[in-house]
Amino acid sequence: MVSLFDPIKLGAIEARNRIFMAPMTRARATADHAPTAIMAEYYRQRASAGLILTEAIGISLQGLAWPYAPGIWNSAQVQAWRTVTDAVHAAGGRIVAQLWHMGRLTHTSFPGRGRPVSASATTAPGLAQTYDGKLPYEEARALHLDEIPAIIDQFANAARNAIQAGFDGVQIHAANGYLLDQFLRSSSNLRSDSYGGSVENRIRILLDVTLAVAQSIGAGRTSVRLSPNGEIKGINDDHPEELFVAAAKMLSKLGIAFLEIREPDFAGTNGKADRPPIAPLMRAAFRGPLVLNSDYDAAKAQAALDAGHANAISFGRPFIANPDLPGRFARRAALKSTDSASWYGRGAEGYTEL
């Protein structure tokens, strides 16, 4: 029987265990979105994870509007990321860059961003995190059909930059209400062209982006994250089973390294799923390694492997206060808790000093 502590091959990536670190924004980059020395130490401390999935990394100035979040569109950022990947590799770890375009969740208060863009002219609910504090989201403009190829190219260029920076692969962020998710879901995609309407059309941009990235760095170093169940950042879908099974089938045909699914616990008190899990349907449609995320502890994670529901599990917040999480699981040691006040701080407290 497969254990959380067994190695796994993900396309071209060899992971030494199946306890992965999930992507988490931590806001320790510079105002110019370059990684910092403290980020290298943070990721190095967590190199015992079978695979580190980085915090979301902006693919362009247009697509990034989170204070002190990192990017990977210019040479200075690429060079700074090299210090991070070198530190992780020196500690025996593997690390994948999550590539991010925020879509309608950007804000014009960030210099050079312009009006937010999305699948359609819609407005996210709630408040944006900005350098000027929390401000209401603004109405996005719909991307013109002739603008979409540039977005696809930005993902492919970011993937090439990630490999140049020493990453073992990339993850395309198509989850959590950001740009690609805004195209996928019916409540935020009101288009009537070849990128809107039918499920086939709404998954087209994910197909185009994934294909471009895979052609740039190899399908064996390309992965995708999806969040199929429940409203997130103001978007949802009328028929998510149909949508996300179609997306899983499409990604399976492309032969990507793995698919990660973030799906809140339907029965749990912390979950926000609005219907029974969709991941099992996607599991049947996707032939490659499947990684599940959200609301797992060690026992539930092992049970998911035992049942064949997943090949690995990614853990987010447990890794914040427990950089040695695989070792703690192995020893069955108690886990430390995390203070949310330190999640987006600028210093070492709650980050590298725990």
The residue ranges of every structural domain in the chain are 8-342
Q: Which residue has the tokens 């590799």?
A: 89
Mean pLDDT per 10-residue section of the chain, whose length is 354 residues: 97 98 97 97 98 98 97 98 98 98 97 95 97 96 98 98 98 98 98 98 98 98 96 96 98 98 71 83 98 95 97 97 98 92 90 92
Active-site amino acid positions: 178
- Residue 5 is encoded by which pair of tokens? 């502590």
Class of domain 8-342: alpha beta
What pLDDT score does 94 carry? 98
pLDDT score of 267: 57
The CA distance from 194 to 89, in Å, is: 42
The dihedral through the CA atoms of 123, 177, 243, 279 has a sign that is negative
pLDDT given at position 79: 98
What are 224's strand-pairing partners? 172, 259
- How much is the pLDDT for 268? 46
Residue 217 CA, distance from chain mean position: 18
DSSP state of 232: B
Three state DSSP letters for 31-58: CCCCCCHHHHHHHHHCCCCCCEEEEEEE
Which is it for the CA torsion 30, 34, 35, 36, positive or negative?
A: negative
What is the predicted pLDDT for the residue at 125? 97
Q: What is the pLDDT of residue 269?
A: 42
Q: E strand or H helix at 251, and its extent?
A: helix 240-254
